[in-house]
Amino acid sequence: MKINRKNFLKMAGLAGAGLITKTSRAGKNHPFQTSHVQKFNMHLYAAPKLDKVRIGFIGVGSRGSGHVTRFNRIEGVEVKAICDLVPERVKWAVDSIKKSSSSKPDSYTGGENAWKKLCEREDIDLIITATPWELHAPIAVYAMEQGKHVGVEVPAAKTIKECWQMVETSERTRKHCMMLANSAYGDFNILTLNMAREGFFGEIVHGEGTYIHDRVSNTEDRWERDKDNSNWFGFRPWRLNENSKRNGNLYPTHGLGTVCQAMDLNYGDQMDYLVSVSSNDFTMANKMKELAAKDDFYKQYLGKSFRGNMNTSIMRTHMGRTIMLQHDISSPRPDVRFNIISGTKGIAQKYPQPAFSTSHDGWLPENEFKSVEEKYKPEISKKVGDMAKKVGGHGGVDFMMAWRMIDCLRNGLPLDMDVYDAALWSCIAELSEWSVANEGNSIKVPDFTSGAWKTNKRNMDISLQKGGNTKFS
């Protein structure tokens, strides 16, 4: 086209209006748009207290079996039922409960929909689910519809549609849906959260979270499997499938939780938009070739494209804060989860070792670090921390999470994390996939609170101003 003054001005006007671009930001024409109107605000909702919390467990493999053991050590808990596709797992869990408590749970197994029958029981208050990801949201939604509170493993949902289903169901039924984000209860995580609330960092400017957890290049036995495929080391088949079909930040919640809480996201601020890019895969396809030479099972993965080794996603909030989130499960690197909270007055860094700083002169020396640690140590750590470490589960965070959840239900208190947190932290996966597929274009993050974040108050009472009276063994 001949460029004269008239055409130039016309094109400049179109460009200024955002109509001539190579690619366009997914904002107004959002591929995940919804017309949801909040029917009831579940944030800080306190359900009627339960003197006894009757629990049904769905999925008792390596993760779920630990939940059974830990919840069973808390006062006021009665395990009513256990469900899993593998009968041997159910038997182990039932036998372990009978040996250590007066509970006599019933067994549910033998079919893919056995979990529905468990959810339909009238003598259960809480469902704890630790199944493969694709069942997290369906079980959570069905359980709430049957009048049950839910504790669902991370991520709570795979898709944004599922996130909205959880939000809508929780609001309609007024049943809690808490994602079991154990990282939020790590010693350093809740310490920095308390420091943020006490103003140590000043105004929060930036946060960084990661899930860097090598599951490929370690020893060969991590890839062995039982003949019946019931026990795997490294990747279970369903998780391999996730990484062979999707490219993005598939496991965002571990690194994201503490940063979101420190920034008061969902209660005072909210994510605005996200951009995401992934590297190529340099290890997973090669690993499949290596394994296929020894085990025919892995031949089904030959020729498949796996997600990139490193995904980096960046989010900006409405208040102008930024978050960098990284995900890498296939490079030989030390494990890293939550990493940095940075503000106008100070910074906390968890890796390579816990550290604080209040100036450019360097990190605080050990004696000053200990002094800050002691000053800001929250009450929940003082009360439960030592016992949690003895019980175990990722250094005690799993037990602290379980105890706090039961303590809230028994005292009729809001849970530390609500359905809006579960949806916000989980939705990053599909948003990042969209951005990666669109050359790192930005995309709006849904507001699952429907604007209520502007007036919502903080949750997660780590100071134990209420409750905290539930005993444990």
CATH number of the domain bearing residue 437: 3.30.360.10
Q: Please give the DSSP secondary-structure letter assigned to residue 472.
A: B
Q: What is the pLDDT of residue 157?
A: 98
**Do residues 130 and 124 make contact, with C-beta atoms less than 8 angstroms apart?**
no
**Do residues 231 and 225 make contact, with C-beta atoms less than 8 angstroms apart?**
yes
Q: What is the pLDDT of residue 209?
A: 96
Q: What is the pLDDT of residue 221?
A: 42
Q: What is the pLDDT of residue 10?
A: 53
Tell me if 55 is assigned to some domain: no
Q: Which residue has the tokens 């509970």?
A: 103
The series of mean pLDDT values per 10 residues for the chain, 473 residues long, is: 52 47 55 87 98 97 93 97 95 94 95 96 98 97 98 97 98 98 94 98 98 73 48 65 93 95 98 98 93 89 93 98 96 88 98 94 96 97 92 88 98 98 98 97 97 96 96 93
Q: What is the pLDDT of residue 193?
A: 97
Instruction: Please tell me the total count of domains within the chain.
Output: 1
Tell me if 308 is assigned to some domain: yes
265 φ/ψ angles, rounded to the nearest 5 degrees: -70, 135
User: Rounded CA gap, 107 and 340, in Å?
Assistant: 44
Q: What is the pLDDT of residue 224?
A: 53
- In three-state secondary structure terms, 127 is strand
What is the helix, strand, coil percentage profile of the chain, to 5? 40, 15, 45
Q: Is the peptide bond before 105 cis (omega within 30 degrees of 0)?
A: no
The pTM of the full predicted model, rounded to 2 decimals, is 0.92
Tell me if 174 is assigned to some domain: no
Q: What is the pLDDT of residue 20?
A: 37
User: Rounded CA gap, 427 and 325, in Å?
Assistant: 13
Joined tokens for residue 330: 């296939």
Count CB neighbours of 2 within 10 A: 4
Q: What is the pLDDT of residue 237?
A: 79
User: Rounded CA gap, 209 and 199, in Å?
Assistant: 20
**Do residues 87 and 110 make contact, with C-beta atoms less than 8 angstroms apart?**
yes
Count CB neighbours of 44 within 10 A: 14
Q: What is the pLDDT of residue 4?
A: 57
Q: What is the pLDDT of residue 89?
A: 93
Instruction: Provide the residue range defining the domain that includes 335.
Output: 184-377+417-454
Q: What is the pLDDT of residue 35?
A: 83
**Do residues 192 and 262 make contact, with C-beta atoms less than 8 angstroms apart?**
yes
CA 417 to chain centre: 11
Q: What is the pLDDT of residue 32?
A: 80
User: Rounded CA gap, 119 and 114, in Å?
Assistant: 9
Q: What is the pLDDT of residue 23?
A: 45
Q: Please give the DSSP secondary-structure letter assigned to residue 58.
A: E
243 φ/ψ angles, rounded to the nearest 5 degrees: -80, -10
Q: What is the pLDDT of residue 161?
A: 96
Tell me if 325 is assigned to some domain: yes
Tell me if 383 is assigned to some domain: no
User: Rounded CA gap, 191 and 295, in Å?
Assistant: 46
Q: Which residue has the tokens 């990801």?
A: 133
